[in-house]
Amino acid sequence: MGFWKTLFGGADEAPEDEKKTSEARQFDLLKYDGVKAMRMGQFDYAVKCFREALKIEDDLEVHDYLQQALTRNGNIAEAIDELKIMSQAQPDNVQLLIHMAHLAYMEEDYDLMESICQQAEALSPEQAQVHYQYAQACLGHGDLIGAIARLTKSIALDEELLDARLLRGQTLLKMGELKGAQEDADYLLQHTEGQEDVLLLSARLLHACGQDQQAIARYDEVTAVNPFQIDAYRERGKIKFDMGDKQGAEEDMQKVLELNPQEMADVSGDYSAEGIEQRVKQAYSNMNPFGI
């Protein structure tokens, strides 16, 4: 029997070749089981599959799948570790660094984010997204001036990167630079439609400029776009209260409480007509509703 296998090319596989074939088959099974599990939302199982596959073969595609599964499972720090491995293997891949910086932002690790952005900038100094992320790191460190400089650079490189213009407008408003913030808000209003964060920025600017009726109307647009935008109810209610509209302030505060009952846990009493002025005043005095 052995003679005929040899003669017709059917010789038994060498033990080491058989082991490699078995491992390759096992690697493929683990890899595709992990992908299937990830698509089904079973991220714990997907992570286990990908980790076992990597014990067999160090494969960049599997590292990528693993970081995706870890991210979806909330294990951001471990996902960053996988991206570091991928970046070491592909040191010129700026998109990997951009993604890593985004995850560092999610972790609020602004030191790591800044370090990653420095690497990305060295690779691609004209990449608008890199400067935008660098600005986010600056804001995380409380460096508003540095953030404005980075955002301005980002916008100069890509005027269609509206996130950079929005963040610059928000930062300028926080700094009290209303003219510059208004220019960004006007541009965004012209180039977007029904964008919640843009409308919210515009409403805050209108209030900061003393145009409270217009601000209320803009907040109305925000809540029409997103009925769960708690900041809009909170901020609009504060304006109504300051304008003497106690009923309107009560309605907005009730909405705030409905959306987030814990927010006003330290405010005693219900929000009925009786005592509304004192209670709403207490409610609004316990917060900085505009965050500026």
Return the closest-CA partner of residue 67 out of 56, 54, 57, 76: 76
What six digits make up the tokens of 41? Answer: 């939302």
What mean pLDDT, rounded, does the chain reach? 89
pLDDT of residue 271: 42
Return the closest-CA partner of residue 215 out of 231, 198, 199: 199
Alpha helices, DSSP H, located in 209-245 = 212-225, 230-242
pLDDT of residue 25: 94
pLDDT at position 223 over 60: yes
CA distance 140 to 133: 11
Confidence bin at 18 (pLDDT 50/70/90): confident
- Cα within 13 Å of Cα(67), Cβ side: 20
Model confidence over 55-104: pLDDT tens digits? 999 999 999 999 999 999 999 999 999 999 999 999 999 999 999 999 99
- Lowest-confidence pick of 3-17, 67-81, 180-194: 3-17
Model confidence over 20-55: pLDDT tens digits? 888 899 999 999 999 999 999 999 999 999 999 999
